[in-house]
């Protein structure tokens, strides 16, 4: 079984000419003349096969993505071996579609950038293996990319954001707060001590059997919870806020998930329904869970902002909170964070929803 260490170990065995190519300025091969350097970005860290071509000024020349969401909804969660096989089946066509859309040939690329960590080892391995084939075939410099750094810097595609700034990364696999002091220069303030918020919301959605509800059957778990919560009353259930007495910027979501599971089991017995059927109070549970997650994230972020302001990391002229990652597309969570930034005289910036989830653009 492929491990992440084995995957990353391939990088250490790159020929010296590739390492030199990565360190020195990019050069062009004979052919069509482009005014700017061109980079192909490839992303396969989890369950989306994505690629994009961008120039050094930030122009997106072409992109393509294949989502595995529908397949994993049927299996009740992401199965690494299944994700790996789907990446293998789709990566070549996605890259070719991207190059075709951009009007760029592999020879005209200046470099190839690929996610190498963190993520599912089996999924990462597919993207890395395919990228190194292109690197060897076309003699291009290779740029290894950290997935979370890419999410953190995505905002600089759409907004002029100077360093330093505070970033909150919330997704299905991660939850962290960090000060971005420069490219690949991050000061970690807090992270999830157990599971990620997106993972927890997905599990709650499965526990509520939302996939059996026609209105939510094609949505990811987190998106289903967000839509269902609009119909519910969050005050009908009161979940304890995680890490309430901990004076730090860390997160925790596993205890909340356990509490939700207990409530669902209790309500199933009260309503006399079997596991798998949809509770009459499902919307209220979804609303309460979403509110608790949003409040927990907001409180830890508020603490991080105050710390940054006290230590001079965020100045009045450059007090910016960037929120990115898949969970950042949740509008309820965004509105909760807006309350925090207004109270602390900060500016809240989020990439477009399309760029919050995994994509090839952020890697390029």
CATH of domain 38-140: 3.30.420.40
Q: Based on the number of CB atoms within 10 Å of its own CB, is 183 exposed (0-12), middle (13-18) or buried (19 or more)? A: exposed
Does position 16 have pLDDT exceeding 70, yes or no?
no
- Looking at residues 49-62, what average pLDDT do you find? 94
**Confidence (pLDDT) at 35:** 62
Has residue 8 got a pLDDT over 70? no
> Token pair of 152, please?
């953190």
pLDDT at residue 19 greater than cutoff 90: no
Query: What pLDDT sits at residue 138?
Result: 96
CATH level 2 (architecture), domain 159-351? 2-Layer Sandwich (3.30)
For residues 301-327, average pLDDT? 93
Domains 38-140 and 159-351 share a fold: yes
pTM of the model: 0.84
Radius of gyration of the chain (CA): 22
Percent of the chain with pLDDT over 90: 72
**Tokens 């807006």 identify what position?**
338
When pLDDT is averaged across residues 211-229 and rounded to a whole number, the result is 90
**Which range is least confidently modeled, 44-48, 109-113, 225-229, 275-279?**
275-279
Mean pLDDT of the chain: 88
User: Residue 196 — φ and ψ, nearest 5°?
Assistant: -90, 155
Q: Sheet with 175-182: list strands edge to edge.
A: 185-191, 175-182, 165-170, 320-324, 347-349
188, burial (CB in 10 Å: exposed 0-12, middle 13-18, buried 19+):
exposed
Answer whether residue 34 shows pLDDT above 80: no
* 219, 89 contact by CB (below 8 A): no
Q: By C-alpha distance, which of 111, 98, 175 is closest to 143? A: 111
Domain ranges of the chain: 38-140, 159-351
Q: What is the pLDDT of residues 174-195, one digit of tens each?
A: 899 999 999 889 999 999 999 9
Residue-wise pLDDT tens digits, 325-359? 889 999 999 999 999 999 999 999 999 988 988 99
User: Distance (Å, rounded) from C-alpha 114 to C-alpha 144?
Assistant: 5
Using CA atoms, how far apart are residues 43 and 113, in angstroms rounded to an integer?
A: 9
How deeply is 6 buried, as exposed, middle or buried, from its count of CB atoms within 10 A (0-12, 13-18, 19+)?
exposed
Range 197-212 average pLDDT: 93
Residue 60 has pLDDT above 70, yes or no: yes
The band of 146, judged by pLDDT with boundaries at 50, 70 and 90, is very high
Query: In the prediction, which pLDDT does 22 show?
Result: 42
* Band of pLDDT at residue 3, cut at 50, 70 and 90: very low
pLDDT at 58: 87
Q: Contact, 188 vs 178, CB < 8 A?
A: yes
Check pLDDT > 60 for residue 31: no
Element containing residue 229 per DSSP (H, E): helix 221-229
Using N-to-C axis directions, what is the helix angle for 331-343 and 221-229, rounded to 10°? 70
User: What is the predicted pLDDT for the residue at 301?
Assistant: 98
pLDDT of 39 > 90? The answer is yes
At 95 the pLDDT is 97
How confident is the model at residue 173, as a pLDDT?
86
- The dihedral formed by the CA atoms of 208, 234, 176 and 189, expressed in degrees to the nearest 10: -150
């Amino acid at each position: 079984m492929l491990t992440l260490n084995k995957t990353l170990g391939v990088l250490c065995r790159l020929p010296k000419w590739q390492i030199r190519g990565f360190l020195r300025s990019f050069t062009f091969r004979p052919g069509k003349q482009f005014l700017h350097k061109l980079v192909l970005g490839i992303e396969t860290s989890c369950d989306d096969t994505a690629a994009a071509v961008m120039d050094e000024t930030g122009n997106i020349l072409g992109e393509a993505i294949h989502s595995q969401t529908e397949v994993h909804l049927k299996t009740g969660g992401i199965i690494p071996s299944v994700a790996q096989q789907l990446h293998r089946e789709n990566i070549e066509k996605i890259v070719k579609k991207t190059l075709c859309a951009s009007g760029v040939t592999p020879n005209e690329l200046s470099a190839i950038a690929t996610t190498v960590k963190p993520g599912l080892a089996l999924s990462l391995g597919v993207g890395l293996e395919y990228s190194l084939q292109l690197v060897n075939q076309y003699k291009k410099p290779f740029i290894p990319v950290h997935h979370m750094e890419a999410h953190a810097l995505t905002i600089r595609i759409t907004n002029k954001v100077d360093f330093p700034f505070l970033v909150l990364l919330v997704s299905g696999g991660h939850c962290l707060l960090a000060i971005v002091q420069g490219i690949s220069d991050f000061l970690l303030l807090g992270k999830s001590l157990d599971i990620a918020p997106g993972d927890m919301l997905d599990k709650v959605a499965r526990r509520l059997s939302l996939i059996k509800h026609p209105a939510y059957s094609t949505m990811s778990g987190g998106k289903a919870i967000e839509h269902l919560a609009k119909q519910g009353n969050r005050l009908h259930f009161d979940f304890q806020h995680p890490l309430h007495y901990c004076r730090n910027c860390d997160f925790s979501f596993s205890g909340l998930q356990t509490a939700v599971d207990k409530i669902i089991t209790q309500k199933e017995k009260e309503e006399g329904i079997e596991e798998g059927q949809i509770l009459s109070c499902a919307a209220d549970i979804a609303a309460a869970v979403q509110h608790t997650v949003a409040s927990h994230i907001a409180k830890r972020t508020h603490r991080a902002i105050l710390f940054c302001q006290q230590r001079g990391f965020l100045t009045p002229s450059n007090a910016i909170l960037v929120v990115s990652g898949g969970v950042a597309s949740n509008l309820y969570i965004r509105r909760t964070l807006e309350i925090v930034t207004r109270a602390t005289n900060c500016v809240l910036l989020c990439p477009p929803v399309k760029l919050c989830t995994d994509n090839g653009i952020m890697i390029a």
